[in-house]
Amino acid sequence: MKEILEVLEKDARTTPEEIARMLKKSVGVIKKAIKKYEQSGVIVKYKTVVNRDILKDDVQKVRALIEVRVAPQRGHGFDHIAERIYRFPEVKSCYLLSGSYDLLLVVEGKDIQDVSSFVSERLATIDNVNSTVTHFILKRYKTDGDILKHIEKNNRIAISF
Amino acid sequence: MKAYHGSRVEKDKDNTVMKISKTVEKIKPSGIREFFDLAIGMKDVISLGVGEPDFVTPWNICESAMFSLEKGYTSYTSNKGLYELRLAISRYLNNKFSLSYNPDQNILVTVGVSEAVDLALRAILNRGDKILIQDPSYVSYGPVSEMAGGKVILVKTNEASNFKLTPSLLKKHISKDVKAVIINYPANPTGVSYSRKELLALSKIFVNNNLIVISDEIYDELIYEFPHTPLAILPGMKQRTIYLNGFSKAFAMTGWRVGYACGPEEIISAMTKIHQYTMLCAPIMSQLGAIEALRGSGGPVLEMKREYKRRREFIVSALNEIGLSCNMPEGTFYAFPSIKSTGMNSMEFAKSLLYKEKVAVVPGTAFGTQGEGHIRIAYASSMDNLKEATERIEHFLKSRNYAEAVTRFARNRRGTTLK
């Protein structure tokens, strides 16, 4: 049944009826399995991949990657301090890493000042946050397996043997 | 130059300066050329008519070919192909099937399996030698056999036996002067393949009648029901089998034109002789790409296969549901549904489907007379395309039924008023 996830990860719009056909299962079985995945949190939600760069008149938002060094807390490790940070809606992603710093955040704001003030006023002032390094993102080429540039389709001839 | 001027000279056959060889002249031009041009010229067509993957070649292969170009690998290679590639092929076959071929004596890298078929036929056939070819089958086997001087004996198969060759069917066609047979599995256009047991039964016929077998196994990675068994690993078969395979289908490398032939030393060196004078060698960039394909593409190949399998289930069940009966193909990315229920022949069906709904499929007759009543649908197309195409085919069938019902009604009414 894990193949359901493979299908939905490629195209979340695929209907249970279509998946049933592809996997040679009954629609009922597929629906039940999807429900189970949703309830257990395996399927978190269904979203659309949007490339706003193409909308020229759109208000562009600014994103930055932020390296954060923190002091882990007794009894909680990094989880507690991480939660203090990722609960902010400005934080779009949050990872705990091995290596020279601890947390990597993706932070979004309406402009550079917005992100900067989030870092200096909210983030850096949290107890146990020792230091931050901010990298503004200049261009997105690929996110989560999707290339954002329009790639020309290979023009196969309509008929061949 | 004169011969090229004015259409009079070209039209008047007896005066034509350019006389075409009798062998080539005898080969019938494909009757569906016209249909092809039609399909190719049309816009916004959903094509289920292609004989190639819709995936682009995996990036690791493209990237390694680019790297080798940058490094200046732009030369000829040895006639047999890069040793490194032959070694990689040898290891690949050994690991996968315990099929062992020596890279020095038993392997020839060719410009796709197409060239390998030609080389094999020219290497074994004398003028008038008979060769068994299945009807329906891939388009090139018959004409290429004839060009090599062979006499083609068609082994007709049909839906009732699931378009499979069987021992009894073969026996009916075998005589003293039959020298060779071409087998292709998983098969284009039917998608049919053979289990090990079925192959064993066939191999006994081949051995007992001392036939050379040209085994085109280009679709071997795309098999969904049971593991693929190469004919050459069966008892008594290795010394009489010319094993053909390539990179086009499994690795989505059709445009790279690279394949290979494996077989007994005498045959491979005979084929190499022809290859060295006609082709010299396969393109070096493609050979380098092929090395990378064998080295590091297990992941992408498996992923493509899983995707094809889902599409297969989808299209076959959808076709059956809308009224085109279709067996479940065991391999390839083709389905070969029957369109007999529509009352149309293959060409009519393909043409009107193209005109009315802009969906391109290949009429079964392109692959032999036994393909009549069928169409070949290639599901190497995105799920979105497949969904859209099945909706259009359904609409096509429904509107046709409606049109038919109206004519029937009109005819009946006319009948009654006449009375």
Which of A:118-157 have CB within 8 Å of B? 154, 156-157
**Residue B128 in this model has a pLDDT that exceeds 80:** yes
* Yes or no, beta carbons of B314 and A3 under 8 Å apart: no
pLDDT of residue B11: 52
**Residue B295 in this model has a pLDDT that exceeds 70:** yes
Percent of chain B exceeding pLDDT 70 equals: 91
Calculate how close chain B gets to A34, using CA atoms only, in Å.
17
**Residue B171 in this model has a pLDDT that exceeds 70:** yes
pLDDT bracket for residue B27 (50, 70, 90) = confident
**B112-121, B148-157, B199-208, B299-308: least confident range:** B299-308
Question: B300 or B331: which carries more pLDDT confidence?
Answer: B331
pLDDT bracket for residue A60 (50, 70, 90) = confident
* Yes or no, beta carbons of B310 and A3 under 8 Å apart: yes
Query: Do residue B48 and residue B131 come from a single domain?
Result: no
**Looking at chain A, which residue has its C-alpha nearest residue B381?**
A156
pLDDT of residue A125: 94
**CB contact, 8 Å: B388 with chain A?**
no
**CB contact, 8 Å: B302 with chain A?**
no
**Residue B5 in this model has a pLDDT that exceeds 60:** no
Residue of B314, B385, B386 to mutate when probing chain A, most A C-beta within 10 A: B314
Question: What one-letter code names the amino acid at A160?
Answer: S
pLDDT of residue B296: 81
Spell out which residues of chain B touch residue A156, defining contact as CB-CB under 8 Å: 47, 50, 52, 54
pLDDT of residue B3: 45
* Partner-chain residue, chosen from A14, A22, A159, that has the shortest CB–CB distance to B36: A159
Host H or E run for residue A25: none
Spell out which residues of chain A touch residue B360, defining contact as CB-CB under 8 Å: 158-159
Query: Do residue A81 and residue A17 come from a single domain?
Result: no
Query: Does any domain span residue B350?
Result: yes
pLDDT of residue A70: 95
Spell out which residues of chain B touch residue A18, defining contact as CB-CB under 8 Å: 314, 383, 387
* Yes or no, beta carbons of B360 and A7 under 8 Å apart: no
Query: Do residue B84 and residue B27 come from a single domain?
Result: no
Across B182-190, average pLDDT: 98
Query: Does any domain span residue B1?
Result: no
* Partner-chain residue, chosen from B56, B314, B362, that has the shortest CB–CB distance to A21: B314
Domain boundary among B276, B296, B316: B296
**Residue B2 in this model has a pLDDT that exceeds 60:** no
Domain boundary among B296, B318, B353: B296
pLDDT bracket for residue B1 (50, 70, 90) = very low
Cis peptide before B300 (omega within 30 of 0): no
Query: Do residue A63 and residue A138 come from a single domain?
Result: yes
Percent of chain A exceeding pLDDT 70 equals: 98
> Residue B38 belongs to a domain with what CATH number?
3.90.1150.10
Task: Record the pTM.
Answer: 0.87
Query: Do residue B75 and residue B30 come from a single domain?
Result: no
Spatial distance between the Cα atoms of A67 and A69, rounded to a whole number of angstroms = 7
Burial letters for B4-38: b for 16+ Cβ neighbours within 10 Å, e otherwise? eeeeeeeeeeeeeeeeeeeeeeeeeeeebeebbeb
**Residue B7 in this model has a pLDDT that exceeds 60:** no
**Residue B10 in this model has a pLDDT that exceeds 80:** no
Calculate how close chain A gets to B164, using CA atoms only, in Å.
20
**Looking at chain A, which residue has its C-alpha nearest residue B366?**
A161
**A155-159, B127-131, B132-136, B198-202: least confident range:** A155-159
* Yes or no, beta carbons of B54 and A156 under 8 Å apart: yes
Has the ipTM of the complex gone over 0.90? no
Query: Do residue A79 and residue A25 come from a single domain?
Result: no
Q: Under a CB-based contact definition with an 8 Å cutoff, are residues B226 and B75 in contact? A: no
pLDDT bracket for residue B412 (50, 70, 90) = low
Q: Which residue has the tokens 């390998």?
A: B116
pLDDT bracket for residue B57 (50, 70, 90) = very high
Q: Under a CB-based contact definition with an 8 Å cutoff, are residues B275 and B75 in contact? A: no
Calculate how close chain A gets to B317, using CA atoms only, in Å.
7
* Yes or no, beta carbons of B314 and A22 under 8 Å apart: yes
Which of B:130-149 have CB within 8 Å of A? 138-140
For residue A90, the enclosing domain spans: 53-143
**Residue B13 in this model has a pLDDT that exceeds 60:** no
Query: Does any domain span residue B407?
Result: no
Query: Do residue A10 and residue A80 come from a single domain?
Result: no
User: What confidence tens digit (pLDDT) does each residue in B191-243 have?
Assistant: 999 999 999 999 999 999 999 999 999 999 999 999 999 999 999 999 999 99
**Residue B411 in this model has a pLDDT that exceeds 80:** no
Query: Do residue A32 and residue A109 come from a single domain?
Result: no
Query: Do residue B378 and residue B320 come from a single domain?
Result: yes
Host H or E run for residue B269: helix B265-278
Please spell the DSSP secondary structure of B364-406, one letter per residue: GGGG-GGGTTBEEEE--S-HHHHHHHHHHHHHHHHHHHHHHHH
User: Comparing C-alpha atoms, which of B106, B82, B111 is closest to residue B94?
Assistant: B106
**Residue A148 in this model has a pLDDT that exceeds 60:** yes
* Yes or no, beta carbons of A21 and B45 under 8 Å apart: no
Q: Give the torsion sign (CA, A36, A41, A42, A44).
A: positive
**Looking at chain A, which residue has its C-alpha nearest residue B254?**
A156
* Yes or no, beta carbons of B317 and A24 under 8 Å apart: yes
For residue B370, the enclosing domain spans: 7-56+300-400
* Partner-chain residue, chosen from A7, A156, A161, that has the shortest CB–CB distance to B138: A161
Query: Do residue A58 and residue A33 come from a single domain?
Result: no
**A59-68, B110-119, B273-282: least confident range:** A59-68
Domain boundary among B277, B296, B315: B296
Phi, psi of B131, deg, nearest 5: -135, 135
Calculate how close chain A gets to B308, using CA atoms only, in Å.
10
Query: Do residue A69 and residue A33 come from a single domain?
Result: no
Task: Tell me how crowded residue A39 is: count the other CB atoms within 10 A of its CB.
Answer: 9
Query: Do residue A93 and residue A35 come from a single domain?
Result: no
Query: Do residue B224 and residue B253 come from a single domain?
Result: yes
**A28-42, B21-35, B115-129, B252-266: least confident range:** B21-35
Query: Do residue B38 and residue B89 come from a single domain?
Result: no
pLDDT of residue B418: 41
Spell out which residues of chain B touch residue A24, defining contact as CB-CB under 8 Å: 313, 317
- Mean model confidence pLDDT for chain A: 92
- Mean model confidence pLDDT for chain B: 91
Spatial distance between the Cα atoms of B113 and B307, rounded to a whole number of angstroms = 24
Query: Do residue B329 and residue B227 come from a single domain?
Result: no
Query: Do residue A65 and residue A15 come from a single domain?
Result: no
Query: Do residue B181 and residue B224 come from a single domain?
Result: yes
Across B354-360, average pLDDT: 94
Burial letters for A121-154: b for 16+ Cβ neighbours within 10 Å, e otherwise? eebeeeeebeebebeeeeeeeeeeeeebeeeeee
Query: Does any domain span residue A48?
Result: no
Query: Do residue A26 and residue A57 come from a single domain?
Result: no
For residue A124, give Cα distances in angstroms to A68, A79, A88, A134, B278: 9, 17, 13, 11, 72
Q: Under a CB-based contact definition with an 8 Å cutoff, are residues A51 and A19 in contact? A: no
**Residue B315 in this model has a pLDDT that exceeds 60:** yes
Across A90-96, average pLDDT: 96
Query: Do residue A10 and residue A36 come from a single domain?
Result: yes
pLDDT bracket for residue B410 (50, 70, 90) = low
